[in-house]
Amino acid sequence: MTDQTAPAQSTGRPSPARHRLKILSYNVHSCIGTDRRLDPGRVAEVIAAVEPDVIGLQELDVGRSRTGGIDQAHAIASLLQMEFHFHAALNVAEERYGDAILTALPARMVKGAGLPSHGEQRGALWVEIDVGEHKLQVFNTHLGLLGSDRMRQIGEILGPAWIGAPACQGKPTILIGDFNAIPLTATYRTVARRMGDAPLLSGTKARATFPSRFPLLRIDHVFVSGDITPVETQVVSTPLSRQASDHLPLLVTVEL
């Protein structure tokens, strides 16, 4: 993260510092790559190469026998030397599966909860991050495969229990996630009526993120409130990222 202080105003006092942040959304597919290899370290290497400040990860396994009982959120955060907040959308005995927000900035978990689901259970988490004088509100989610589920889920996230909550009002807000929804869908349009699609606002051509080997669908998104300015977008497509997961990471640089 870099801080840039604007020139002094006519009052003789400096204006508030502008803060530049790199925001990453990445569905890591339980750290199982397109070559069927399980490797959290490879996922961390993909992330480290682009040096994000705030990361939303989806499809993490924690203590699941299918992936060797690893706490993938902890493993990736440790390799990146970041703190993390994890919410399990799915709990089966001691096995958990869900999403996380990682950052090296001061951060507090506000909320983690399930979302209305008739298909596979989905959830979301909300973390407040200190960025200079700002209290940045970051939401991360992974919406369902069924259109009816997605509409209920995004309605919940945009409603008074989450982004519409009094604690969120008037504060810079970012919504990260795998929405399983391309821009033509009602799910996407519902969010776009309330928040800005960061890749489009950055002036960079919006690119597909799934599947990673031959991307056809833009289903991973970063949305921002009006007081955040997206300045650059990159879909991270490298030989390593095309192997590490079935999604490519979406990196958006913003200014507060």
> Is 238 a member of any domain?
yes
> Is 128 a member of any domain?
yes
Which CATH number characterizes residue 23's domain? 3.60.10.10
- Residue 37: is its pLDDT beyond 50? yes
> Is 94 a member of any domain?
yes
| Contact yes or no for 71/62 (Cβ under 8 A) | yes
> Is 3 a member of any domain?
no
> Is 4 a member of any domain?
no
Number of domains the chain contains: 1
Q: Which of 227, 199, 256, 218 is nearest to 21 (CA)?
A: 256
DSSP annotation of 41:
H
For the chain, give percent helix, strand, coil, nearest 5: 20, 40, 40
207 by DSSP, 3-state: which?
coil
Express each pLDDT in 84-124 by its tens digit: 999 999 988 889 999 999 999 999 999 999 999 998 899 99
Range of the domain at 98: 18-255
> Is 230 a member of any domain?
yes
Express each pLDDT in 134-150 by its tens digit: 999 999 999 999 999 99
Predicted TM-score (pTM) above 0.85: yes
> Is 212 a member of any domain?
yes
| Contact yes or no for 252/202 (Cβ under 8 A) | yes
Express each pLDDT in 144-184 by its tens digit: 999 999 999 999 999 999 999 999 999 999 999 999 999 99
Query: What is the pLDDT at residue 13?
Result: 52
